[in-house]
Structure 1
């Protein structure tokens, strides 16, 4: 790393060789100075910053060339030099910070400030401060969002929003429910980062628009437009743990407005590491490939048709260090091995009518062949989705209405899809779920909007399911908005597709009753304000108070019997409430910062007793800083998160492992250098700077993964013995943070426009 930094500094100093001085002044449209604007030669990337009076001087050995002028709140300008030694530049204001367009909250493309539903936007630039090989890990620095590792052995996980478990989070790809059910465990891996335009996040129920699963919130991964994407992108990264990740993107434009965009992702990790000494891999070994293809037809600057497809294959395993594929499915050496392959197709067609009517469709086929020790889990899930949407603006009304239909096929080798009369007879689940929704946003005044929505779904078992919503938006000024949202959500549950703990085979799964759909009601109060200061710095504040009440919540009971997981509808209710705030700051000199925190209180109330769900933190903090170092092209980044203690699933009163996690934090640093003219960027740094990992005894009885030396009584309870004094069984579900410690990384990006 020191050699890389020295090389970058030497390159910068070499570019700084001088022969003449060029001075200038940077002004706004009112001819007022713009302090700390960046001035940079396009030819060799030498540059400087203006002083507080908007003045600069720069030495160069170039007789002519072009200067790029950049300042927060203004559009970049290119000034061609032709022997001048003094220039005066008038910058044009750019209100991009106020004009971010979102589609997730209402299905209408609107300015983020104009949306009555609060939507958070995260671009690749934000995630590049802490580069990761998949979307799952990338979300670790988003406030209120936590990637939760659910298994110490195979390292699978899901996404928690405001402390709610992964199944309450709906993940969309270009607005389509492409990642759900079985694929929530593995589907967030392998989406090529080179294909991502931005990620939009809505916290709180959105079932009135998106149906089942959008109970705690949704994450919409929006891919790049094939027409606007760069011709070629590449991002290659490696770590000191020998991880290797390659992201490639290609675009080809044809005549008649037809464009094709291709993305390829490859990830490989094949070196078993056991730093905590439990004889189990600290990080799952993986071999993953994903190919993404998008075709788009554009006419009159409007996309009329696009279709995209993705193929994903992954081979991952974790387990005892001496495991090899020859032990797969056996009871000699413990390993968890998962083969996954998945097809996805999605498309949207703008119907050739005078009205704004579009048809969206998606289909995915997910096949999983896995073994957890000697327990096989073979599953197949196919989901077909279609939606007809009509958008209509009439006077002060903006109508959205549509028909949606979703068919889910699911089959596995567990009792979940077996005949109740004969477990040897297969009876796959095939659920047809049609729905209709309507929404009207009314512009009551220039400052006040009201949005009302209603959705009606029909489930073959649970019949009619209603999900209304109401949103109020008040904008006292163009830079401030206050939103109040109230809505409902519902979720139809399949335990085996959603809870990894049900698959491991470490505990028996008990379902004593028919599981009813979960229902929720949510209240959400949001304030958002933006300000450009007199020094041309940008400040943004986004604060939210939330409250969600759940009915029929399905909870896994780990404590009644330590050898079982008992699933049932809660005989009571649960509540999720809290406050969340984000502050963003961008200075004219290139420094930027984002700091956020969420204080939450999640509780389950049953028989008058209140308890906090397992693996639920009470506080989360995140931060992300980036600043130029010596040159506008050399950037230092510092990112991190902080979590409060959370209750953990211990195996009874004798379990010596702590029943609560400590305060913990994952922090990262990075130094990147970008050569503006060529588009090349080299970056490197350290992940998990503090080298935090959970305790070495996180896996109970790692030395006896098949419970050969465990004694049980007649009722199936574990008996304490001299060899097993704490009455434990093998259990890898005691996990709250990754086992992967400190590691270095280095990478290279290249964009060719």
Structure 2
């Protein structure tokens, strides 16, 4: 009996030793990798990981090989044959990753006829950014942000163009939120982002008015089939921002859905010492105290190669400013801090209905209806009233895609309706004290009988478009051509063409694009009239649409390392901007502006689980009428970063950003006196950030870092002008992330 027992143990051990079982996961996210190939070299023994990343194979070998598209192939030495956890490192660029923005159809990254830049979810996490402004600033070298005094005026540029000339989208649907002349990018919850796709240059043929200088498409996270995901995220970068995020998503059989809430808050900061001498002195900071909250929810139902989905988002933001109030009429010591007279509040609500269907093996249909209402409210504490203004937009988009033998054909329809509504206060901003008692109350003030649109409370416009896009092969050259016809109810008909060539060579890929761009003036640029203590902002009903002609050539390589070089020239006619004369700001057309330059992007893996990324942008933005550099633009921007795994669960990151000097003119025309006093140079700057991320387990990670390591602050902080950078100096960053993923039992 004793010998029989020993024999059974030996047989069982022999059987177990011939089997290899384990799980393949991503080294960064610790997510299971489905579809990885696990095999024994020079044999027919192999396996493919399931949706849990698990594999099981029979072999006596002490080595296995693992490969997967988008990851570096490895040879793994086996010590224990069961319960293996094997980490795969993403390759420098996943050439098989699907992109959609450049053609409005799914293409692999390597086969896209339009050069596309991808920012992954992991890059966003590593950047320690809390809003889309910081993500862009961290990753895009052509992105420039000028900050006005006291955080109430921003100017944002992409390769010399403002955000109204760059199309921002969430899952292909335009964002319409606008604040202080720029897109309000804080309405985007970066915790919901799976990746960002960016296409440079005029792409109005595919996307219509607004895509003069490129398109930024934010692709949101999707839950894998029959799985669930719970995420809790806490972040602190005092005094810039503190935030918290909670989300839950689930996909079960034919249903999928998610809910999330994100909260951001800051007490603000100032780069100079505060001084108050008088009653009613406003306490102004370079970044004001603010808070915002974002609620997201979506639900979808899949059936018969189709999906029906509804998404809803609500955003609210408060900016709090303060002033000194002499409660007793006494000396400075008796001044008290009270809420300021005017407090801004912003709200954004967006709902979209989407239907996608694979009608046949070669035909697909996509339809989307989106409604967005972005409102601004000013609370006037002196008399307990508030003042509303806002923009409303609804859009319908239908796209039909047909695959033929050597051609892909796309047909689309767009209908966009915009409405803007606003009011002004008594005398176009001239506050009155009808009681002559030094107190302004609700009885003294009322809505002026004339709004900012004179005798109308609102203005509206509509834009209707038909567009086509074709892709076909001609002697191994991929040719893409497109044409959009659009009718604007104020600017009649326009045709917008484009042509792109794409050729693969052994070691690199060549692309060339010619396209035209178009942007109609928005309602605020046309009709806005606001007189306030800081000056007069005037619309211009005689504005003409912006038009552009864009040309670019690029090279791209996917070999041992990745690089791309893009050379471009964008010539604009009737560019819409404002001119400043004294305290008056008036929208006008700049007759001829040219933007020419190049950008370089380089990325490679380093030995020992490291990665180096380098990007550089050169831009010459020139106003040919004034014969001067375009206001606020600079020549050189450079970003570089190094990431390295010190251990399998300890990752370090070092980033460097440089921006060359900028010229800025407070007064552009009819300045009077010595106009050179109104033109000044914004300083060059460089920033270094450092962080460590430690994975405590598969679900829990913590981050500790230092932003602005060398404590740079704008030297012009005490002057009354735009700043090249609003940064509080060196700050300590802390983050905590809990992510629980699982699969539903069938």
TM-score range, shorter-chain basis? 0.7 to 0.9
Deviations 1:318-371 (A, max 9, x none): 4668899xxxxxxx9867632011111123202473331121121111111137
Match of 2:354 among 348, 352, 357: 348
Give the structure 2 partner of residue 620 of structure 1: 637
Give the structure 2 partner of residue 293 of structure 1: 297
Deviations 1:627-676 (A, max 9, x none): 122x121111112321111112346648878700121123211111113x
Distance, in Å, in 2 between the alignment partners of 1:389 and 1:696 is 50
Asked if the contact 1:145/1:161 (under 8 Å) is kept, the reply is yes
Give the structure 2 partner of residue 369 of structure 1: 377
Distance, in Å, in 1 between the alignment partners of 2:571 and 2:326 is 45
Distance, in Å, in 1 between the alignment partners of 2:79 and 2:407 is 52
Displacement of 1:450: 0.2
Change (3 A) 1:576 1:92: closer
Structure-2-length-normalised TM-score:
0.77
Match of 2:319 among 308, 316, 328: 316
Asked if the contact 1:681/1:748 (under 8 Å) is kept, the reply is yes
Displacement of 1:429: 1.4
Change (3 A) 1:293 1:588: farther
State the SS of the aligned residue for 1:528: strand
Asked if the contact 1:418/1:425 (under 8 Å) is kept, the reply is no
Displacement of 1:290: 0.4
Give the structure 2 partner of residue 462 of structure 1: 491
Question: Do structure 1's residue 224 and structure 2's residue 221 form an aligned pair?
Answer: yes
State the SS of the aligned residue for 1:113: helix
Change (3 A) 1:183 1:247: farther
Displacement of 1:521: 0.5
Give the structure 2 partner of residue 726 of structure 1: none
Displacement of 1:144: 3.6
Give the structure 2 partner of residue 358 of structure 1: 366
Question: Do structure 1's residue 550 and structure 2's residue 567 form an aligned pair?
Answer: no
Give the structure 2 partner of residue 430 of structure 1: 460
Displacement of 1:297: 2.5
Give the structure 2 partner of residue 487 of structure 1: 515
Give the structure 2 partner of residue 108 of structure 1: 105
Deviations 1:478-537 (A, max 9, x none): x521110110111112374799998975221245661010100100111111113xxxxx
Asked if the contact 2:223/2:229 (under 8 Å) is kept, the reply is no
Distance, in Å, in 2 between the alignment partners of 1:369 and 1:93 is 46
Match of 2:584 among 561, 564, 568: 564
Structure-1-length-normalised TM-score:
0.77
Change (3 A) 1:579 1:425: same
State the SS of the aligned residue for 1:740: coil
Give the structure 1 partner of residue 723 of structure 2: 735
Give the structure 2 partner of residue 385 of structure 1: 395
Distance, in Å, in 2 between the alignment partners of 1:376 and 1:90 is 57
Distance, in Å, in 2 between the alignment partners of 1:77 and 1:670 is 30
Match of 1:644 among 660, 663, 670: 660
Distance, in Å, in 1 between the alignment partners of 2:312 and 2:73 is 36
Structure 2 unpaired stretches of 5+: 1-37, 44-52, 54-61, 276-282, 328-337, 430-446, 742-746
- Structure 1 residues 470-509: aligned runs within 5 Å: 470-477=499-506, 480-494=508-522, 496=524, 506-509=534-537
Structure with larger Rg: 2
Displacement of 1:401: 0.7
Deviations 1:244-291 (A, max 9, x none): 211222112334x10111221111113555545465213221111101
Give the structure 1 partner of residue 610 of structure 2: 591
Asked if the contact 1:161/1:203 (under 8 Å) is kept, the reply is no
Match of 1:281 among 257, 269, 285: 285
Distance, in Å, in 1 between the alignment partners of 2:238 and 2:452 is 52
Give the structure 2 partner of residue 52 of structure 1: none
Asked if the contact 1:387/1:403 (under 8 Å) is kept, the reply is yes
Displacement of 1:67: 13
Match of 2:250 among 237, 249, 252: 252
Give the structure 2 partner of residue 151 of structure 1: 148
Question: Do structure 1's residue 339 and structure 2's residue 369 form an aligned pair?
Answer: no
Give the structure 2 partner of residue 51 of structure 1: none
State the SS of the aligned residue for 2:258: strand
Distance, in Å, in 2 between the alignment partners of 1:254 and 1:242 is 40
Give the structure 2 partner of residue 751 of structure 1: 739
Give the structure 1 partner of residue 237 of structure 2: 239
Asked if the contact 1:672/1:681 (under 8 Å) is kept, the reply is yes
Distance, in Å, in 1 between the alignment partners of 2:459 and 2:403 is 41
Distance, in Å, in 2 between the alignment partners of 1:597 and 1:476 is 25
Question: Do structure 1's residue 444 and structure 2's residue 474 form an aligned pair?
Answer: yes
Structure 1 unpaired stretches of 5+: 1-25, 32-41, 43-54, 57-65, 325-331, 533-538, 701-732
State the SS of the aligned residue for 2:205: helix
Asked if the contact 2:525/2:587 (under 8 Å) is kept, the reply is no
Give the structure 2 partner of residue 672 of structure 1: 693
- Structure 1 residues 20-35: aligned runs within 5 Å: none
State the SS of the aligned residue for 1:552: strand
Asked if the contact 1:149/1:155 (under 8 Å) is kept, the reply is no
Number of paired residues? 640
Match of 1:407 among 417, 441, 450: 417
Give the structure 2 partner of residue 209 of structure 1: 206
Deviations 1:28-53 (A, max 9, x none): 9589xxxxxxxxxx9xxxxxxxxxxx
Distance, in Å, in 2 between the alignment partners of 1:378 and 1:421 is 12
Asked if the contact 2:487/2:494 (under 8 Å) is kept, the reply is yes
Q: Give the stretch that moved more between structures: 396-405 or 223-232.
A: 223-232
Change (3 A) 1:583 1:107: same
Question: Do structure 1's residue 692 and structure 2's residue 696 form an aligned pair?
Answer: no
Give the structure 2 partner of residue 536 of structure 1: none
Question: Do structure 1's residue 134 and structure 2's residue 127 form an aligned pair?
Answer: no
Give the structure 2 partner of residue 660 of structure 1: 681
Deviations 1:554-576 (A, max 9, x none): 23222xx2221232222x31100
Match of 1:529 among 557, 569, 594: 557
Deviations 1:75-134 (A, max 9, x none): 6799885479xx9x9999989721121100001100111111111100121122221211
Give the structure 2 partner of residue 13 of structure 1: none
Displacement of 1:163: 2.1
Change (3 A) 1:588 1:109: farther
Asked if the contact 1:190/1:265 (under 8 Å) is kept, the reply is no
Change (3 A) 1:262 1:187: farther
- Root-mean-square deviation over aligned CA pairs: 4.0
Displacement of 1:687: 1.3
Distance, in Å, in 2 between the alignment partners of 1:618 and 1:577 is 10
Distance, in Å, in 1 between the alignment partners of 2:212 and 2:502 is 22
Distance, in Å, in 2 between the alignment partners of 1:548 and 1:242 is 36
State the SS of the aligned residue for 2:682: coil
Asked if the contact 1:207/1:214 (under 8 Å) is kept, the reply is yes
Change (3 A) 1:177 1:243: closer
Displacement of 1:476: 0.8
Displacement of 1:192: 2.4
Q: Give the stretch that moved more between structures: 152-161 or 433-442.
A: 152-161
Deviations 1:213-270 (A, max 9, x none): 1111111111011346851122211123273211222112334x10111221111113
State the SS of the aligned residue for 2:206: helix
Question: Do structure 1's residue 603 and structure 2's residue 622 form an aligned pair?
Answer: yes
Change (3 A) 1:640 1:429: farther
